[in-house]
Homo-oligomer: A and B are copies of this chain.
Amino acid sequence: MSEPLTQNIQDYLKAIYGLTSEGGEASTTALAARLGIAPASVTGMVQKLAALQPPLVIYQKHQGALLTPEGERAALEVLRHHRLIEAWLVESLGYSWDAVHEEACKLEHVISEEFETRIAAALGHPVRDPHGAPIPSAALVMPSTNDVPLSSLRGGEKAVVRRVRCEDAPLLRHLESLGLVPGAILGVSDFSPYDDNLTLKIGSRKPVVLGASVTRNVFVEMMG
């Protein structure tokens, strides 16, 4: 552990981790889009991250960025902060799940180890945040899950909602109004291969049709 990383570097690492773990690769353009800056700026920064001692990313021209073990540790630390803070804003301060992301994005960079430890203990060492995202352990290990994208289900299958991967407040409010929150039980009434729409029965509500842009970001656990 050398000196503390800047907020900026933490944001890069978080973005690289996010893109990588969402199945894609952390290309210059993708990083630029996620960070809201110009691609040229990303190139420069990623080169710097690769030149640090120890290096936080592995970088070769036109190959995007890959986290080193040190880089991944740092990313998981930030992610742990972010998700613990979200959990704690909801549990202890009564925030709604659509309001916590912005606040957590700012707080995640400035809290101390002591703070992290105290809120984790106060919450009973949660393994998921309010959206169902897994919270890395204190040892910075990402807990394993049986999460499967809702978009992979087909007619007749039943499942429990485990995670809603979304940071857009209006959309989160909408999904909540549909009952599509972690813990909800749903059944797939129909699948349309033409547009990938799913018709879902969520709890005892009347059926809704959801497109792939949503169902790809909702994760469920299949029920026997």
Residues of A within 8 A of B (CB): 89, 92-95, 99, 102-103, 106-107, 109-112, 114-115, 118-119, 122
> Which of chain B's residues have a CB closer than 8 A to the CB of A106?
110-112
Which of B93, B111, B114, B115 meets A122, CB within 8 Å? Answer: B93
Smallest beta-carbon distance A93→chain B, Å? 5
Interface of A is mostly: helix
23 A-B residue pairs with Cβ-Cβ distance under 8 Å, sorted by A, are A89-B115, A92-B92, A93-B115, A93-B118, A93-B119, A93-B122, A94-B118, A95-B114, A95-B118, A99-B114, A102-B112, A103-B111, A103-B112, A103-B114, A103-B115, A106-B110, A106-B111, A106-B112, A107-B107, A107-B110, A107-B111, A109-B110, A110-B110
A110: chain B residues at CB < 8 Å are 106-107, 109-110
Counting every copy of the chain, the complex holds 2
When chains A and B are docked, how far (Å) is the Cα of A89 from the Cα of B111?
12
Q: Inside 8 A of A89's CB, which chain B residues have their CB?
A: 115
| Chain B hits for A118, CB < 8 A | 93-95
Residues of B within 8 A of A107 (CB): 107, 110-111
Residue ID in chain B nearest A118 by CB atoms: B93
Complex CA distance for A25 and B102, rounded to whole angstroms? 38
A112–B89 CA distance with the chains assembled, in angstroms? 12
With the chains together, A83 CA to B15 CA distance in Å? 33
Q: Chain B contacts of A122 at CB under 8 A?
A: 93
- By a CB distance below 8 angstroms, the chain B residues around A95 are 114, 118
Minimum CB distance partner of A107 in chain B:
B110
Residues of B within 8 A of A114 (CB): 95, 99, 103
Min Cβ gap A77→B in Å is 16
Chain B residues with Cβ under 8 A from A103's Cβ? 111-112, 114-115
Which residues of B are found within 8 Å of A93, using beta-carbon distances?
115, 118-119, 122
